[in-house]
Amino acid sequence: MAKRVLYVEDDRDIGRWVKEDLERRGYVVDWLISGDGAVERAREADLIVLDVMLPGLDGFTVGKRLKKEAPNAPILMLSARTSMDDKLQGLGFADDYLTKPFHPDELAARLEVLLRRHGMAADRQIECGHLLIRPELQTVTDSLTGEEIPLTAKQLQILMYFLRNRGLILTKEQIYEAVWGEPYLEGDKTVNVHIRYLRERIERDPGNPQIIETIRGIGYRVR
Amino acid sequence: MNAGRGSGKRRFSLRNSLMTKYLLIVLSAMVLLPFALVLVSAATVFQTWTGHRETTEPYRSSSHLEEIWHREAAKLANASPGQIDAELRRLKDAYPKASLFWVDGSGTTRLQLPEGQDLPANWTASYTVQFMKNSSYSRIYTVVAFLGDKPGNDRGFMVFKVPREAFESTAAAIDARQGTIFVSGILLVLGLFLFVSLLFFYRIRRRLVQLQNAMTAPSETGIPAPVETARSDEIGRLEQSFNVMVRKLERSREREAEEEALRRDLIARLSHDLRTPLTAIRGHAYGLGEEAISDKGRESLRLIDRKIEFLGTLIDNLLSFTLLSSGKYPYHPRRIDIVRMARTQLAGWYPAFEQAGFEIDSDLPEEPVYWEADPQWLERVVDNYLQNVLRHAKAGRYVALKVSAENGGSIVIEDRGPGMTGESEEKGAGIGLSIASLMLKDMRLRSEVRTGPEGTTVVIRPA
C-alpha cells in the first residue's frame, strides 16, 4: 500500500520537483503551498514533510500543531535555514531535519528510515537475516527452523532498538540510555553482557555474528 | 533646539562657580582678619577694665597710685599718729614693693616702712626742697601727699616711693598678655580659613573621586552608568557632560547592535534565498540524470551535484562565520566526555567512510576524558575535519579518530591522504577551517596540524 505524504512547500519549483520525485518512488503526495488546511489533511498522512519558511504561519508553528493533531505521523523538517538554533528548535517536535539543497536520494532515504521507525507497529513482520520479528506480538522466530526464539524483555528491547535504527552504528551509551532510560555510567559492562547473551540466542554462530555486527571501538550495528 | 547644545558650552556664570565660592572664602578671611583684630583688642580692653583692677595689678599706673595716695592722705586729716602708723602699715601690705614714711607737722620723720630709708630725723625746709627735687628725676617714683590732702593745715605729709620698674614690668606683662591674645586671635582666623579651605577642597576631591569611580565602575554593558548631578557648578557640569557622553555611547551601542542584527538578518535571508534556487537546480539536474543521456553528460551532472553540495556548505559556513564573529552563535559550554562524543561522532560518520572504501581506525580509552566545551561546537569542529578527510584524503583510504587522556586530553584525526598542500578538488574550504579555529579559540582549545604527502594529523588539545 502506497504511503501518503503530506508535503508543505511554498516554492513551486522545488515543490513540483519533490512531488514528482516522491511519486516516482511510489508515494502518494499531497502538496500544499501554505500551512493553511494542513492540519485537516495531516490525519490522513503517514508522513509529513514541512518547509520551515512558509508564508503566513511559519513552519515551526504549523509543525507543532500537526504534531498535536496527528502524533503518529513522523515529521521531517525541510529548511533552508541551517543555524544550530533552528535545527534544535525544529527537532524539538520534528523527527528529522534536512537542509537545502538536499539530494533527492537523501530525502527518500530519510523518509524510509522515518517510516520504518514509526511504522513498525503497523508492520506485521520485519525480516532481518534469518530472523522474523513480529513487533505487535513481541515475538522473534527463526525463519529456517520456524521455531520461536525466547528472549528476555531487555533483549527484545535491545533488538527492537537496533531494528528501529537499522543501518546506523549505535554506541553502548546510546543503547544503554535508550533501553534502560537512565544516563550511562562509565565503565558499565551491562550493554556488552546483554548483547553477548542476545547473540547466543539469535545468532547461528555467536562466535561469528551476522545479525549484530561489532564495529570495533565504536559500537554495534544491525543492517 | 539650542537648549541641548547650550548646556554643553554654557558661558562662565559667577553664581555657579567653584572659583566664586573659593574667592568668597578668601575674601571673608581677609575681612575677618581686621575684624578679628578689633575684636581681640576690644576683648583685651574689656578684660583690663573689668577683671584684675587692684588686687592683682596694684602698680598699674603712676596716676592711679597718686590718686590712691592722695585719697588715703585725705582720709587721715584728723588721725592720731597711731592711726596714721596703722594706715601706713596696711598700705605697705597692699604695696609691698613701695617704701612709705610720714613726717609730722613739726618736720619729724615718723614711721618708716621699711626702716632705714636714709632720712633725716627732722626735715628742714632746704632738705624738703632737695628731696622734692631729687624725687622728680629719680628712678624712684615718689608721691607726696599732705595729711588731710591740704597743704595749709600743717599736719605733716606722707611719702610713697616705688621703683619705676614696677610699673614697666607690669605694663610689659599686660602687653605680653595682650600680644598672646592678639596672636592667638590671628592664628584662630587663619586656622579657620585653612579648615574651611580644606573642607572646600575635600568636597571637590570627593566629588571628583565619585565621578572617577562612576567612570571606571564595571557594568554589564561595559558602558558606565550615568551619575546624579546635584549641583550646577563646574563639577556638576562635568557630570552632566559625562552623562551626555554615556547616553551617546549607549545610543551608538544600540545603533551598532541594530546594524549588527540587520546584517545578520540579511545574511540569514540571503543564505535562505540562495538555498532555495540551489535546491531546485539540484532537483532538476537529478531529473536530467534520469533521462537517457551520454556518459559525458552524466559526468557533468555529477559534477554539478557535487558543486551544489559544496555551495550549500559555503553558504552555511558564511552564515555560521557571521554569527560566530559577532558572538551570536549560541554557545553553551559544559563538562563533556570527549571519549563518548568522539565515539558517537565516528559512529555517525562510519557509513560514509565505509562507503568510500576507507579503513576506519579508532583508539578510544575506556575511561572518560572531560573537557569544558560546547558539545555542538566541538562536534562541528571535528565534523569539519572529518569532512575534509572524506573530501580531500580519499586517496589514502584511511581515517583514524583517537582520544588520549594525557596532558589534559586530546583528539587526534589522522588520514593518509596527499596532505593539505597536495592537489585536491573543491579547494576553498578555508572558511570552514576559519570557523573551526574561531570555535576552538573561544573554547580555549587549539589544533595542531602536521601535514605531508604521507598524510595529515590534526591534534585538538587545550590551549
Question: What does the pLDDT look like over A107-166, one tens digit per residue?
Answer: 988 888 888 777 654 556 788 888 888 887 888 888 888 888 898 999 999 998 998 888
Which amino acid makes up residue B221?
T
User: Closest to B283 (Cβ–Cβ): which among A14, A169, A217?
Assistant: A14
Chain-chain contact of B347 with A169 (C-beta, under 8 angstroms): yes
Chain-chain contact of B340 with A171 (C-beta, under 8 angstroms): yes
pTM score of the predicted model: 0.58
**In chain B, what residues touch A80 (CB-CB under 8 Å)?**
271-273, 275-276, 279
Chain-chain contact of B275 with A14 (C-beta, under 8 angstroms): no
- Does the pLDDT of residue A88 top 80, yes or no? no
Which candidate, A9, A7, A99, places its Cα nearest to that of A46?
A: A7
Instruction: Give the pLDDT score at B353.
Output: 92
Chain-chain contact of A218 with B277 (C-beta, under 8 angstroms): no
Which amino acid makes up residue B148?
G
Task: Tell which of A58, A78, A84, A192 to mutate to test the B interface (max B CBs under 10 Å).
Answer: A84
The domains located in chain A, with CATH, are 4-118 (3.40.50.2300), 126-222 (1.10.10.10)
User: Closest to A218 (Cβ–Cβ): which among B279, B315, B346?
Assistant: B346
**In chain A, what residues touch B272 (CB-CB under 8 Å)?**
53, 80-81
pLDDT band at B410 (very low <50, low <70, confident <90, very high): very high
Domain topology for B330-462: Heat Shock Protein 90 (3.30.565)
Between B334 and A53, the higher pLDDT residue: B334
CA torsion B137→B141→B142→B145, rounded to 10°? 120
Domain ranges of chain B: 1-216, 234-323, 330-462
> Which tens digits make up the pLDDT trace of B121-141?
888 888 888 888 887 777 788
User: Closest to B283 (Cβ–Cβ): which among A17, A53, A80?
Assistant: A17
Asked if the bond preceding B34 is cis, omega within 30° of 0, the reply is: no
Q: How much is the average pLDDT of B399-411?
A: 90
Chain-chain contact of A218 with B309 (C-beta, under 8 angstroms): no
> Which tens digits make up the pLDDT trace of B300-357?
898 898 888 888 888 888 888 888 877 777 788 899 999 989 999 999 899 889 988 9
User: Closest to A171 (Cβ–Cβ): which among B280, B343, B368?
Assistant: B343
**Nearest residue in chain B measured CA to CA from A86:** B330
- Does the pLDDT of residue B281 top 70, yes or no? yes
pLDDT band at B401 (very low <50, low <70, confident <90, very high): very high
Lowest mean pLDDT among A38-42, A73-77, A170-174, B43-47: B43-47
Look-up: residue for cell 548483547? A195
Between B192 and B46, the higher pLDDT residue: B192
Chain-chain contact of B279 with A100 (C-beta, under 8 angstroms): yes
Instruction: Give the pLDDT score at A123.
Output: 59
| B interface residues, A as partner, C-beta within 8 Å | 268, 271-273, 275-284, 286-287, 305, 308-309, 311-312, 315-316, 319-320, 323, 329-330, 337, 340, 343-344, 346-348, 350-351, 362-364, 366-368, 376
Domains B234-323 and B330-462 share a fold: no
User: Closest to B283 (Cβ–Cβ): which among A18, A80, A85?
Assistant: A18
Instruction: Give the pLDDT score at B460.
Output: 92
Name, in order, each residue with C-beta under 8 angstroms of B282's C-beta and a sequence gap of 6 or more.
A101, A102, A103, A104, B304, B305, B308
Chain-chain contact of A83 with B319 (C-beta, under 8 angstroms): yes
pLDDT band at B198 (very low <50, low <70, confident <90, very high): very high
CA–CA gap between residue B342 and residue B362 (Å, rounded): 9
- CA–CA distances in Å: residue A38 to residues A7, A113, B41, B419: 9, 23, 107, 51
The CATH number of the domain covering residues in B234-323: 1.10.287
Task: Tell which of A107, A218, A221 to mutate to test the B interface (max B CBs under 10 Å).
Answer: A218
Q: Where are the beta strands (DSSP E) in A24-95?
A: 28-32, 47-51, 75-79
Q: How much is the average pLDDT of B38-42?
A: 75
- Does the pLDDT of residue B56 top 60, yes or no? no
Q: How many CB pairs under 8 A join A and B?
A: 107
**In chain B, what residues touch A165 (CB-CB under 8 Å)?**
none
Lowest mean pLDDT among A199-213, B120-134, B422-436: B422-436
**In chain B, what residues touch A85 (CB-CB under 8 Å)?**
330
**In chain A, what residues touch B282 (CB-CB under 8 Å)?**
101-104
Average pLDDT, chain B: 82
Q: What percentage of chain A reaches a pLDDT higher than 90?
A: 13
Chain-chain contact of A101 with B348 (C-beta, under 8 angstroms): no
Instruction: Give the pLDDT score at A221.
Output: 92
- The Cα angle at residue B431 between residues A59 and B315, in degrees rounded to 5: 30
Grouping H, G, I as helix, E, B as strand and the rest as coil, residue A51 is strand
- Does the pLDDT of residue B57 top 80, yes or no? no
Instruction: Give the pLDDT score at B412.
Output: 93
**Nearest residue in chain B measured CA to CA from A218:** B343
Task: Tell which of A19, A52, A169, A172 to mutate to test the B interface (max B CBs under 10 Å).
Answer: A169
ipTM: 0.75
